Structure 1
Amino acid sequence: MNQTASANYRFFILILVVVIAGLSQGLLLPLLTILLEKAGVSSGVNGLNAAALYIGVFLTMLVIEKPVQRFGYKRIITWGILLVTIATFLFPLWQSLVFWFVLRVLVGVGDSALHYASQLWITSTSPAEKRGRNISIYGMSYAIGFSIGPLGINLLPFGVGVPFVAVGAFFILALLLLLKLPHEYPVREEKAASARSRYVSAIQLAWFALIPSFLYGYMESSINSNFPVYGLRMGMSESWISFLLPVVGIGSLILQLPLGIWSDRIGRKPVLILSGFAGALAFLAVPLFKDNEWGVLTAFLIAGGLVGSFYSLGLAYAADLVPKSVLPAANIIASINFSVGSIVGPNLGGLGIQYVSPGSMFYFLGGIFLLFTVCGLFFRRAKQEKKTSLIHFTN
């Protein structure tokens, strides 16, 4: 297999892994929320339990860089898949808040490990002129899985454990395909800067590009954890909720690649600002539709299309702004921001639903995206150092 074919095969397998990871997350968030809501758990406690997954993500990002450098991309992705698969099979065995909290933390650890390694593998091997396209395909693939995931709620009539077993089976398939890839490692420079200086440099050079990961995490977790509660309290059926949840991902799927290609041509910053502003307006419109499912569907489709690519566009923009030696640090900061946003989202949304109004979750969403567009007006790009190769190969 020549180098080009090998690179294409690697990219295909990584994209498939991301699809399945998206499917898992797209199902587990609303499925567990609905099961806890039916058990009489308050929306605030429900949101706190949902945030456990992102606590696992956050904790992993504090230590993931050195394991990836030592063991390589493939091994970290493999361990992540195994951890998520085992935890997924354990969920239906015991419906307990504490037990599910621990399992969600473990899912977060495994999910963040496989995502960090796959993101860095793709961004570090993509040429600059195709980086926006490739990372958009990555995000689009995650959106495909994330959109399909909530449909697994419809498997509940066959048994509580059936949706979990289905997700676990997909992960086993991904693991078998992943084993065929060669081992690759990030290359550390002989005179590498200290970890602290790399993180400081990443923030100084790309602070604006690192915000979208926070916004995406906030949006994704809030929609999937809080919207089922919002929908049930607005009188929507479970089947409608399971139908509406994938719409955000479908919107992202439609515009992910066009926005990525557009950003390659006119720049990431204007695309992020325009998408953030229009997406904020779409979120603010959701409460106006109340229990009108078709109105909510339209708003979700528009919002998802515009801001559903924020994580991938932010990563591509960060890769444009920082030297390659700083890129792993930037990826870690983005992942930490994602996990922080994902923790804040369900908790703030859940408290808003409980103590303010059901529609407050969408007012919060619209507000933070509007704030992001304002921040973009003050960001200026600094000069970038000469880029160096970031990977090496082993058989």
Structure 2
Amino acid sequence: MTEKHLTMLADAPLTGPERKRSLVAVIACISVVGMGLGVSIPLLALLMERNGVPASLIGLNTAMPALATFVLTPFIPALLRRIPAIPFLLSCIAISAIAMPAYYLFPNVWLWFPIRFVNGIAFTGLFVVSEFWINTLADEKNRGRLIGIYGTVLSCGFASGPVLLFLVGTEGAAPFAVIALLIAVAALPLLLFGRGLAPRVTERPTRSFASFFIAAPAATLAGLVYGATETNIFNMLPVYGVRIGMTEQTAAFVLSIFAAGNILCQVPIGLWADRTDRRFVLLVCATVGFLGVLAIPFVAHSIWLFAPTLFLFGGVVVGLYTVGLTLLGERFRGADLASANAAFVMMYSIGALIGPPLAGGAMDLWDPHGLIIAMSGLCGLYVAVAGWRYFTAPRQPRSPE
């Protein structure tokens, strides 16, 4: 399999104020992605659960954005050669804003499949172009800081989504209208701050990335496991919560606890990974994730036990994504690193695609604890892979940079 890589190239170096304006514009796009997904995933899952849709079908429906990512990503470079970045992003925002009331106007789960796929295409465009745009604003002195801001804002969007859902509720047109309005308003920073500052996009030579799955299985598989785990938490955990007796609002609100762990623990885990063997950090994160999933049935009936457990679980399991990318940066350089990152993102999308149907099918077989079996099984398999790599892979010296 081959992947086209994007390189964001500015026509001329940006001044300090222009860089700040450009950063505001791209952060607005990231906020849309985070908040839109953070609200829509639990909202749609809860509405399908309320209407008696089987958990397996809920899982398949929630996999549509991941399928859109898998299908669209190879075509984005060609699209951006024909459509400038700002109009492209504005089109994605418009499509996403229109999709939200469409869910309300067409309350049929089978119609939600194409709507959700199209909405996923819009989110994919926002995510991919924003990520590459922010990379053009970074240099080697501030790349970690800016990408850290990117990750934090994205996680904050996920966290604020369930809070917003808790405030506006799940009844009627209100949640759909509020989400659509917020997404539409997010276009303003692009128009006010991004015009004339958006970078161009060109292709780099294609490269097969199958070899990276063999060369760095612990790092690349970390993307798959985190993609499946994160998507299952935001999609299936609210359903699990309702089935064990939580209210819909509480079941959605606890997702913010998971997201808060994501927000607050990325930097400490990253600092730890810079000071020790990163494969060991992956093994610890995987082990804590495995134990955290197994603990859910024992603590979910008490919010005072469930909250800290979910916070710790969310904070540590995100290390799979953070440290997985960091380990690839340790192992590879230049074009190899770009290809390795592409493989990692593809694995994340595959995980997000297969995770919800797997969990939903497990819940249909054992209601509701099949979710725990599916998630712990995946985490347990990754513990074995991470442990095998930690104990058998040759140690490589760290780059002095």
Question: Which category describes the TM-score, using the shorter chain as reference length?
Answer: 0.7 to 0.9
Equivalent residue of 1:171, what SS? helix
Aligned partners of 2:29 and 2:127 also within 8 Å: no
For residues 369 and 23 of structure 1, the distance between their equivalents in structure 2, rounded to whole angstroms, comes to 27
* Structure 1 gap ranges (5+): 388-395
AA at the equivalent of 1:294: W
Aligned position for 1:220 = 230
**Contact 1:52–1:101 (CA<8 Å) still a contact in 2?**
yes
Letter of the 1:345 counterpart: G
Change (3 A) 1:245 1:94: same
Deviation, structure 1 residue 270:
3.7
* Residue 152 (structure 1) aligns with: 164
Question: Residue 252 of structure 1: CA displacement?
Answer: 0.8
CA contact (8 A) 1:205 1:381 kept: no
Match of 1:118 in 2: 130
Helix, strand or coil at the partner of 1:170: helix
Computed over aligned residues only, the root mean square deviation of the Cα atoms, in angstroms, reads 3.0
Q: 2:292 aligns with which of 282, 289, 298?
A: 282
Match of 1:62, SS state, is helix
Residue of structure 1 equivalent to 2:15: 3
Give the 3 Å change call, closer, same or farther, for CA 36–188 of structure 1 in structure 2: closer
Supply the distance in 2 between the matched residues of 1:300 and 1:384 (Cα, whole angstroms): 33
**2:194 maps to 1:184:** no
Shift of 1:351: 1.2
- Following superposition, the deviation at residue 35 of structure 1 comes to 0.9
Unaligned runs of 5+ in 2: 1-12
Measured in 1, the distance between the counterparts of 2:209 and 2:35 equals 31
The structure-2 alpha-carbon separation of the partners of 1:297 and 1:350, relative to structure 1 and needing over 3 Å to count, comes to: same
Select 2:107's aligned residue among 95, 109, 113: 95
TM-score by length of 1: 0.85
Mapped to 1, the partners of 2:93 and 2:328 lie a distance apart of 26
Asked if residue 358 in structure 1 is aligned to residue 373 in structure 2, the reply is: no
Residues in 2 aligned to 1:75 and 1:382: alpha-carbon distance in whole angstroms:
45
* TM-score normalised to structure 2 length: 0.83
What secondary structure sits across from 1:325 in the alignment? helix
Change (3 A) 1:255 1:249: same
Letter in 1 for 2:296: V
Q: CA deviation at 1:264?
A: 4.1
- Pick closer, same or farther for the CA change 1:206–1:6 going to 2, 3 Å: farther
Residue 293 of structure 1, CA deviation: 2.7
The one of 55, 73, 81 aligned to 2:67: 55
Instruction: Find the counterpart in structure 1 of residue 43 from structure 2.
Output: 31
- Is 2:249 aligned against 1:239? yes
User: How do 1:239-278 and structure 2 match up within 5 A?
Assistant: 239-266=249-276, 268-278=278-288
Deviations 1:317-375 (A, max 9, x none): 43444333345544443332222211222111111111024223223323323433432
Aligned to 2:357: 347
Q: 1:309 & 1:108 partners in 2: Cα distance?
A: 25
**1:212-239 superposed Cα distances (whole Å, 9 cap, x missing partner):** 3222221122112211221111111122
Deviation of the 1:176 alpha carbon? 1.7
Measure how far apart 1:21 and its partner are: 1.4
What CA distance in whole angstroms lies between the structure 1 residues aligned with 2:345 and 2:76? 10
| Amino acid aligned to 2:198 | H
1:105 is the counterpart of 2:117: yes
Q: Deviations over 1:21-75 (max 9, x none)?
A: 1111111111111111111211121221122222112211233344346656555
Deviation at 1:124, TM superposition (A): 5.7
Aligned to 1:42: 54
How many residue pairs get aligned? The number is 381
Following TM superposition, by how much is the alpha carbon of 1:205 offset from its aligned partner in structure 2, in angstroms?
5.1
Identical residues among aligned pairs (%): 26
